[in-house]
Structure 1
């Protein structure tokens, strides 16, 4: 969603990095470009004015004038102000001391409330709760039936005593659902309310009545992240007419300009609590302002990438791979295939690559990569014999032809995979050396090569400095996806204090 904004801001900051000192004219020009970028992204004008004013005030202050790298300091200021616009820190749900906790969903028709109710119910169930979904949207055709289907897919009970389609009293259904939840011992009640195509008095009155009879602990305003400037008026109407405690962004995976996400929090004064990033029930998570700001500025979202990986990589799989890194064992194509299968469960490959720091520099490459690449690579590896997977060096010309024929690919595809896999092997070896284990010696040039006077064949080279961090081994093996790193040692544009998360080996049994 923020691709165009990210591209504009990246261009602005690229111009800044060549300057040793920033003049007043530089600050004004940068602020003007940022203002245009935000307005093009459909951010509300009052939000843009306030944002630019704070950035200019801080950019003229001592923190920039005394910095060794003023350009990076400005990037840091913009990052911090974006985090502030998006809400500062994430806020979690407030649960009632005496169950059930009541969560009411409000918003316009088409914002995605019903689907989001299922996503929220599934997420709550995974957190150890026993949610109940309530079909209180009796106006929209088939809304009740849709919630029942979504609830079944999410594994969550649905309370739907009325058929809907204009029949039934939604206020009574909402009131009765609380008693039902107590009887069947459900600790969270999620009420799906009716919406309209636009804000009107009837919808607001009904939502306010449901709020009054259920006394919800949270009133979550669900807004379509693609509606742009209309988000401001809609958010203000629900804030004044119903009273909201939090915001949920739906359709954050769309191709709109994303202005709603940057406007709604400041307009409503309430935090963005959740974000829906796809059509699947699992495409839903807590909204982290700092992570979103980093993605907008092209810094990636490594923490979310790690969390998604932890969900699909089994504990024994992590331990086995870490043991290989620590012990210096060879990374094989079987390991590579295992990683690819897990990566496929993490979601669309384009979304994963976009979370890598510096991914904006590889925008064209990422656009050319889709899930079919994973299928092709998987087919190639599965067409190999166990011996070939364990020792790829034995794969000669005739074997490559056989593998290509068996996998329905070309010899060029097989060659590309083997080249990328070789790079992944080197990277895994580098990662093992970077773990700083006691007693591990720095790699040196091979004595054998030294005696023969070979050049450019240094083995076990140390990791390159600077540039984009290398892609995970499973991603680096994709045709068309480099193993990462520019290798030029230049500034990568990340602001001071922005660090990659450290790997904690203690949980893997490191002695």
Structure 2
């Protein structure tokens, strides 16, 4: 996850501050030096870091903080507030035209940033909000770009307008607008061509599209994994053609995340969404206060709740709750719960949003390697359950030694792993039965 290293460093700095009780001015300045080093190591723009530290220091060494009951906690609060301010303070929506008027959105970015996939993801977001988007294939250079947009558009249930590779992008955009007017599409999203680097031809093409059709929003897609280069790209695009907002992709990857912390301060333009995975649903609205909370290891419970509401089948959840209360769940229910967690981004993603846990920083008792191991163990459990017959999954009491041997062979694991999983499953059922009867909570270990 992005910011892992930064979160861990900041948590250690804050832990040290809190342990001191009373703080001196030197204590605060020393902590800020460490925060500065941590931010620079996370690839945050140098000028942004300098201004950030200056703002925090001015507030942190004030009388109210230094003479307060818990100065260490106050410094953390100030850092949190300044992080939120750095990333834009308020959540910014893409501005749409009023009423039934068509909004034209032009997507721009360098090749490899994930622009075409992000364009389809964005169309899916609008469709969920009751809009009728039209995707437009304006990338006539990259092999298979049109096909990629068509495949993703089909998956999202969104129409794709294409005229092939032998027309100028500006003319394609113009024709697409006429098509949208006839077919009552109220949002037109132009997927323009990317280049390996910014060049005059690219900028001229984007400007020509703007001169030909009325573009209401120009959105730049940048790759978080390119760090400071992403911020420089954003600045160049904004200076040359003007942008209205930014989408940062690959923020779920092994990246330092500095681009997300720098882009608003450098360009003055807000981050609108962040890409948190490869699935077409993995596009999250950007909330500065939630991101600051995640960076500081405080979790992001609101996003977790929203993910749960979007991905979890409410009817299934009710049935599962009833089964758990009566301790009547089986291995089929186990599979369902694992599937729901996968839809929410997996164990690491869920834990990264819980305060004090997971991907952004170390979990209590579980570091990143152990989290990865837990994910692997869950996958092995899934393989063992899929190696059972439907009858066995629904009635675990049938699992005698010969059946367990067959399951182990089918899943490619040792018989001891099957025995361990069945034992843990039975322990969990006993615990649920005790809880259902109002008994004391027995010792129970999670099955990974």
Q: Against the structure 1 CA distance between its residues 227 and 407, is the aligned structure 2 distance closer, same or farther, given a 3 Å change threshold?
A: closer
Asked if structure 2 preserves the Cα contact closer than 8 Å seen for 1:10 and 1:298, the reply is: yes
Encode CA deviations 1:132-189: one digit per residue, 9 max, x unaligned: 111122233333233223322332211111x22xx32111111221111011111110
- Relative to the length of structure 2, the TM-score reads 0.86
1 or 2 for the larger relative contact order (CA 8 Å, sep ≥6)? 2
Asked if structure 2 preserves the Cα contact closer than 8 Å seen for 1:63 and 1:73, the reply is: no
Q: Which residue of structure 2 lines up, in the alignment, with residue 160 of structure 1?
A: 162
In 2: Cα distance, 1:421 partner to 1:76 partner: 43
Q: Which residue of structure 2 lines up, in the alignment, with residue 350 of structure 1?
A: 348
Aligned counterpart for 1:338 among listed residues 336, 339, 345: 336
- Relative to the length of structure 1, the TM-score reads 0.76
Asked if structure 1 preserves the Cα contact closer than 8 Å seen for 2:60 and 2:75, the reply is: yes
In 2: Cα distance, 1:127 partner to 1:245 partner: 21
In 2: Cα distance, 1:342 partner to 1:57 partner: 46
Structure 1: which 5+ residue stretches go unaligned? 434-442, 447-458, 464-472, 480-511
The answer to whether structure 1 residue 370 and structure 2 residue 344 are counterparts is no
What are the within-5 Å matches in structure 2 for residues 389-404 of structure 1?
A: 404=408
Asked if structure 1 preserves the Cα contact closer than 8 Å seen for 2:323 and 2:329, the reply is: no
Asked if structure 1 preserves the Cα contact closer than 8 Å seen for 2:320 and 2:329, the reply is: no
In 1: Cα distance, 2:16 partner to 2:22 partner: 12
Q: Against the structure 1 CA distance between its residues 306 and 418, is the aligned structure 2 distance closer, same or farther, given a 3 Å change threshold?
A: farther
Bigger helix fraction: 2
Encode CA deviations 1:434-492: one digit per residue, 9 max, x unaligned: xxxxxxxxx6xx7xxxxxxxxxxxx247x9xxxxxxxxx9xx7432xxxxxxxxxxxxx
Q: Against the structure 1 CA distance between its residues 104 and 372, is the aligned structure 2 distance closer, same or farther, given a 3 Å change threshold?
A: farther
Q: Which residue of structure 2 lines up, in the alignment, with residue 417 of structure 1?
A: 421
The answer to whether structure 1 residue 46 and structure 2 residue 16 are counterparts is no
Structure 2: which 5+ residue stretches go unaligned? none
Q: Against the structure 1 CA distance between its residues 141 and 336, is the aligned structure 2 distance closer, same or farther, given a 3 Å change threshold?
A: closer
Q: Which residue of structure 2 lines up, in the alignment, with residue 130 of structure 1?
A: 132
Q: Against the structure 1 CA distance between its residues 244 and 226, is the aligned structure 2 distance closer, same or farther, given a 3 Å change threshold?
A: same
Asked if structure 2 preserves the Cα contact closer than 8 Å seen for 1:333 and 1:381, the reply is: no
The answer to whether structure 1 residue 69 and structure 2 residue 70 are counterparts is yes
Paired residues, what number? 438
The answer to whether structure 1 residue 56 and structure 2 residue 57 are counterparts is yes
What are the within-5 Å matches in structure 2 for residues 191-206 of structure 1?
A: 191-206=190-205
Aligned counterpart for 1:113 among listed residues 107, 112, 115: 115
Name the SS of the counterpart of 1:42 in structure 2. coil
Asked if structure 2 preserves the Cα contact closer than 8 Å seen for 1:101 and 1:189, the reply is: yes
Deviation at 1:300? 2.3
Deviation at 1:372? 5.7
What are the within-5 Å matches in structure 2 for residues 202-221 of structure 1?
A: 202-221=201-220
Q: Against the structure 1 CA distance between its residues 333 and 215, is the aligned structure 2 distance closer, same or farther, given a 3 Å change threshold?
A: same
Asked if structure 2 preserves the Cα contact closer than 8 Å seen for 1:135 and 1:147, the reply is: yes
What is the RMSD computed on CA atoms of the aligned residues?
3.2
